[in-house]
Copies of this chain bind each other. A is one copy, B any other.
Amino acid sequence: MYSVSVRSHMMIAHSFRGDVFGPAQRLHGATYVVDVEFRRADLDADGIVVDIGRATDALGRVLVAMNYRNLDEDPAFKGRNSTTEVLARTVFDRLATAIRAGELGPGANALESLRVTLHESHVAWAAYEGRLS
């Protein structure tokens, strides 16, 4: 199995509902350093997993929709918590949609799975990984 990973980041505000969150129930924020791993069984004719320029651009479009925003006001998270786990899944789903829409080029059809990791500090991070249908 081959993979290529790229790193970017976003800076957002949000708050959580639920006693389990303690002081994080207050409005606060986070820098999420975002790693996306693109995976496939074999390389294409150029010897790559994916066009890294297109992959980076697609990730950038996903992040710009959340970056420098208060996610409490984002309809995508209405009625649920925008936890690190939920945001990892959100980035996964939106990248999967971009891949299916051809934004990463025709060769991206061969991608089999993604792993999205969001680092919220030097001591905590969350990830979602899944197959691309």
A-side residues, CB < 8 A to B, are: 1-9, 11-14, 16, 18, 20-24, 26-33, 37, 43, 46-49, 51-53, 67-70, 80-86, 88-89, 120-130
Contact = CB atoms under 8 A, between A and B. Distances in A.
Nearest to A37: B127
Given A11-B121, A81-B47, A86-B47, A126 B5 contact: yes
Contacts of A89: 2
21 contacts: A2-B88, A2-B89, A4-B84, A4-B126, A5-B125, A5-B126, A6-B123, A6-B124, A9-B122, A11-B24, A12-B29, A20-B48, A23-B67, A26-B69, A26-B70, A28-B67, A31-B120, A43-B83, A43-B86, A47-B82, A48-B83
B2 A126 contact: yes
Interface centre among A1, A23, A31 (most CB of B within 10 A): A31
